[in-house]
Amino acid sequence: MQFKARVRVTLKESILDPQGSAVKRALHGMSHDNVLDVRIGKHIELTLTADGPESARRQVQEIAEKLLANPVIERFSFELSEAGGEER
């Protein structure tokens, strides 16, 4: 079976986000003073094969933990769906 995973990696709340701060300043310079905070992250899409959804979840979890996110400063979440199917 084919699955699509959408992985979101963001900095932990306790970690300063200089890129987010720069975007927030730019938005305020554009008169968007109602923007209270900006956090920048990464969006990664993977297509993979697995015997079933639980196997795919385990694989994506391992990939994210070992490669996509730095566990010291980042956290991640992901959504998994069958390729061409409904989200799970």
Q: What is the pLDDT of residue 88?
A: 43
Asked, for residue 61, whether it belongs to a domain, the answer is: yes
CATH code at 12? 3.30.1280.10
Region 26-48: what's the mean pLDDT?
A: 98
CA distance 20 to 54: 35
Residue 45 domain-assigned (yes or no): yes
The residue range of the domain holding 67 is 2-82
What is the reported pLDDT for 55?
A: 97
Evaluate the CA torsion angle 61, 63, 68, 74 in order and state its sign.
positive
Name the least confident of 9-13, 48-52, 75-79, 84-88: 84-88
Is 74 a member of any domain? yes
- Asked if 43 contacts 6 with a C-beta cutoff of 8 angstroms, the reply is yes
**Is 47 part of any domain?**
yes
pLDDT tens, residue by residue, 41-73: 999 999 999 999 999 999 999 999 999 999 999
DSSP string, 60-75: HHHHIIIII--TTTEE
Percent of the chain with pLDDT over 90: 93
Give the pLDDT of residue 87.
46
Q: Per the domain annotation, does 87 fall within a domain?
A: no
What is the pLDDT confidence band of residue 85, given thresholds at 50, 70 and 90? low
Does the residue 63 lie in any domain? Answer: yes
Residue 15 in any domain: the answer is: yes
Domain membership flag for residue 88? no
Per-residue HEC secondary structure of 9-43 comes to: EEECCCCCCHHHHHHHHHHHHCCCCCCCCCCCEEE
| 20 φψ region: left (φ > 0), alpha (ψ -120 to 50), beta (else) | alpha
Domains contained in the chain, number: 1
